[in-house]
């Protein structure tokens, strides 16, 4: 990769930096090659500089992954080795993106339509000019007959890979439109975090390899958007052979709401969590608690009832985390309200045990991290030097790695979490 970048600089110095500083450019290319080979990305300086200046240059990186048939839908990405929470899984650059600050609500839909048309035009232009791009896009699903689609080798998506055919099929606009409809990603999704200047914009784009990632209501990954790159990392520990999944919609919500959202996406979620919650006891008990909350029952009482029900029916492990995740909004309301904690604090589980079980079940989330940080600051834990403070800070740092990934050294992570 470094040699390729060096040759590119020689051939086109205006497009690739200062012609007179080839040594510096070669060093930059070596850095990108190291990133691509090892996955050792460090954005600490940019983060500590409050994201000022240009976004950092990033290489593309593919971790311990392969593409296989998925029990969820069609094809999926699978881990080939154990992956710790926060570890980078994938870094990939978009084929095309469109961003804009959306206007007022009444004209926002028109603005999105304009962006969508521009994205289509950009993708069509890219497939016309670049045969490799055309080949990669043609592999993606149009949403029809997914089980019959071939399973490509992951090596095809590496930057150094060669084209398989010099006469690859032409993509017409209608097929490109279908591919984008199924595979495009928005940057404001619940499992995404936009970093830097792009955070003010509504963005949509096509990242080819991430298009193979299916939804689950107990996802194990999250994505960061830095300029035109997606950085995918593990939001909880992932076992070898496990499918990499993302949350297409809010998984910290109750079963009925998730069913509604999955229908809007055009599928019925059959993940392990949904199957557990659709069990005779769970669905009936959860619906009764939902109704009581709608009628204005004390939220502490609702949590107490849920916890008592799980205790009596010996609901443990991830299943307990699933149910707690479905009522996370209710738990967080209790934990963040002094009056409710005074009343219910001794009758409901400590926040630490609930947070750990929810994260183990559905991965880290900014809303969970927020509650932990609020409690830490409220109790004077930041900088107090006590042993309990140290443990709470370590828990917050671990959650932070699940939300942001291991893209920042300790000082930069503390900055993201608001410790400094």
Q: pLDDT tens, position by position, for the chain (420 residues)? A: 444 444 444 445 454 555 457 777 888 888 899 999 999 999 999 999 999 988 899 999 999 999 999 999 999 999 999 999 999 999 999 999 999 887 766 556 788 888 999 999 999 999 989 888 999 999 999 988 888 899 999 999 987 776 665 545 568 889 999 999 999 999 988 899 999 988 888 899 999 999 999 999 999 999 999 999 999 999 999 999 999 999 999 999 999 999 999 999 989 999 999 999 988 667 788 888 988 898 888 999 999 999 999 999 898 899 999 999 999 999 999 999 999 999 998 999 999 999 999 999 999 999 999 999 988 877 765 554 545 567 778 889 999 999 999 999 999 999 999 886
Say what the pTM is: 0.89
CATH (one of 1.10.3720.10, 3.40.50.2300, 2.170.270.10, 2.60.120.620) for 42-246: 2.170.270.10
Decide if 145 contacts 180 (C-beta within 8 A): no
Domain ranges of the chain: 1-38, 42-246, 268-349, 365-420
Cβ contact 132:157 at 8 Å: no
Smallest CA-to-CA distance from 59 within 81, 21, 33, 78 is with: 33
CA distances from 149 to 57, 69, 140, 258, 333 (A): 34, 10, 9, 28, 46
Distances (CA, A) of 283 to 280, 289, 296, 302: 6, 10, 20, 15
Instruction: Cite the DSSP H helix spans in 130-169.
Output: 131-139
């Amino acid at each position: 990769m470094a040699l390729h970048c060096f040759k590119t600089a020689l051939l086109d110095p205006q497009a690739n930096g200062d012609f007179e500083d080839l040594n510096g450019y070669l060093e930059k290319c070596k850095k990108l090659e190291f990133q691509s080979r090892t996955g050792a990305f460090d954005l600490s300086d940019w983060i500590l500089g409050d994201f000022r200046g240009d976004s950092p240059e990033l290489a593309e990186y593919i971790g311990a992954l392969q593409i296989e048939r998925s029990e969820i839908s069609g094809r999926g990405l699978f881990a080939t080795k154990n992956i710790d929470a926060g570890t980078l899984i994938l870094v990939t650059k978009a084929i095309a993106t469109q961003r804009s600050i959306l206007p007022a609500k009444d004209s926002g839909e028109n603005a999105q339509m304009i962006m969508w048309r521009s994205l289509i035009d950009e993708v069509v232009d890219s497939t016309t000019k670049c045969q490799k791009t055309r080949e990669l896009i043609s592999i993606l699903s149009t949403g029809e007959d997914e089980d019959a689609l071939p399973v490509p080798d992951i090596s095809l998506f590496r930057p150094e890979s060669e084209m398989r055919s010099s006469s690859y099929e032409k993509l017409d606009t209608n097929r490109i439109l279908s591919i984008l409809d199924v595979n495009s990603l928005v940057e404001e999704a619940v499992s995404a975090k936009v970093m830097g200047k792009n955070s003010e914009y509504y963005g949509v784009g096509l990242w080819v390899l991430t298009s193979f990632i299916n939804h689950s209501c107990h996802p194990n990954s999250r994505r960061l958007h830095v300029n035109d790159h997606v950085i995918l990392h593990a939001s909880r520990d992932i076992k070898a052979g496990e499918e990499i999944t993302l949350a297409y919609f809010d998984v910290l919500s109750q079963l009925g709401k998730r069913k509604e959202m999955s229908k809007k996406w055009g599928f019925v979620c059959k993940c392990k969590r949904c199957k557990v919650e659709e069990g005779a006891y769970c669905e009936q008990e959860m619906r009764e608690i939902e109704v009581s909350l709608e009628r204005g029952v004390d939220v502490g009482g609702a949590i107490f009832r849920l916890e008592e029900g799980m205790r009596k029916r010996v609901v443990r492990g991830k299943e307990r985390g699933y149910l707690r995740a479905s009522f996370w909004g209710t738990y967080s309301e209790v934990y963040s309200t002094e009056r409710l904690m005074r009343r219910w604090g001794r009758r409901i589980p400590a926040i630490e045990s609930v947070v750990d079980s929810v994260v183990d079940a559905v991965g880290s989330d900014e809303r969970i991290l927020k509650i932990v940080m609020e409690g830490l600051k409220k109790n004077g834990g930041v900088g107090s030097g006590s042993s309990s403070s140290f443990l709470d800070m370590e828990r917050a740092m671990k959650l932070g790695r699940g939300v942001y990934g291991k893209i920042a050294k300790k000082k930069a992570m503390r900055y993201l979490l608001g410790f400094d």
